Amino acid sequence: MIKGDLLNHGLSISIDIDVVAIVMVYLLGRRCETGAGVFALGQGLIMDIFSGGIWGFHALLYVLMYLVIKIIARPFDLLSSVGQVAVVFFGVLIKDVFIIFLFHTFSLNSGFSSFDALLLMASAICSGLSAPFIIILLNSIGRVIHGIQKGFNT
């Protein structure tokens, strides 16, 4: 399971790289929109199953994040590193805002301070800056797998 959300049990003090958002941007950059949506829903369902929290919380969160990333990505070139950094940064930042909104909607009474806002911003920045490197890694893995498949077909 790919763990990618900053807030697993309320507002935590760790900063994570949101790998789910980066993989969605990677798939959208490869014109695999349906795959990105299914990946978002699947990761949300898996996180709901293993988190022990509210059923459907992460599934709703990641589907909303997919829709936001798809809208934000329109003016950007997702094959360039600048576009990848910008879309992942804004996608993770808006996802964190959705988390806060959903916490208040579901009355989970989590306190939110300015320190927590700094952590959310730092998480979005770290995710955005690491996106081009992870996407290069995903491209390399894809080339290796494609080469192995070609070897089996000959």
| pLDDT of the residue at 134 | 93
| Cβ count within 10 A of residue 65 | 26
State residue 117's pLDDT score: 77
- Residue 55, Cα to own-chain centre: how many angstroms? 19
27-77 pLDDT per residue, tens:
998 888 888 999 999 999 999 898 877 788 889 889 999 999 999 988 888
Q: Residue 138 to residues 10, 19, 82, 125, 135: CA-CA distances in angstroms?
A: 30, 11, 17, 20, 5
Alpha-carbon distance of 79 to 16, in angstroms, equals 23
| N- to C-terminal Cα separation, the chain | 33
DSSP 75: T
Please tell me the pTM assigned to this model: 0.81
Domain parsing of the chain, residue ranges = 19-153
Is residue 12 helix, strand or coil?
A: coil
> Residue range 73-93: average pLDDT?
91
Instruction: Tell whether the model's pLDDT for residue 9 goes beyond 60.
Output: no
Assess contact for 84 and 134: CB atoms under 8 A: no
